[in-house]
Amino acid sequence: MSKDLKFETRAIHVGQERDAATGATIVPVYQTATFTQDAIGKNRGYEYSRNDNPTRHALEDALASLEGGRFCFAYASGMAAIAGVAGILKSGDHVVVADDLYGGTYRLFSKQLPNLGIQFTYVDATRPEEIDKAVTPDTQMIWIESPTNPLLRLVDISACAEIASRHGAHLVVDNTFATPYLQNPLALGAHISVHSTTKYIGGHSDVIGGAVVVDDDDLRDRLLLVRNATGGVPGPWDAWLTLRGLKTLAVRMRQHEINAAQVAEFLLTRNEISQVYYPGLPDHPGHEIAKQQMRGFGGMVAIAMEGGAAAAERLCEATKIFCLGESLGGAESLIGYPWSMSHGAFPPEEKRRKGITEATVRLSVGIEDADDLCDDLRQALDRSARAG
Choosing from 199, 314, 351, 354, which is the catalytic residue? Answer: 199
Task: Out of 56, 93, 100, 102, pick the active-site residue.
Answer: 102
Residue 59 φ/ψ, nearest 5 degrees = -60, -45
Active-site residue 111, yes or no? no
Annotated catalytic, 354?
no
Given the residues 50, 254, 291, 378, the one annotated as active site: 50
Query: Pick the catalytic residue: 174, 215, 238, 376?
Result: 174
Of 240, 246, 261, 175, nearest in space to 7 by CA: 246
Buried b (16+ CB within 10 A) or exposed e, 215-252: bbeebbebbeebbeeeebbbbbebbbbbbbbbbbbbeb
Question: Would residue 174 show up in a list of annotated catalytic residues for this protein?
Answer: yes
264 burial (CB, 10 Å; 0-12 / 13-18 / 19+) is buried
What is the phi-psi region of residue 141: left when phi exceeds 0, alpha when psi lies from -120 to 50, beta otherwise?
beta
CA distances from 234 to 50, 52, 65, 242, 384 (A): 9, 10, 19, 10, 42
Catalytic: 375? no
Give the span between the Cα atoms of 104 and 345, in whole angstroms: 7
Please give the positions annotated as active site. Answer: 50, 102, 174, 199
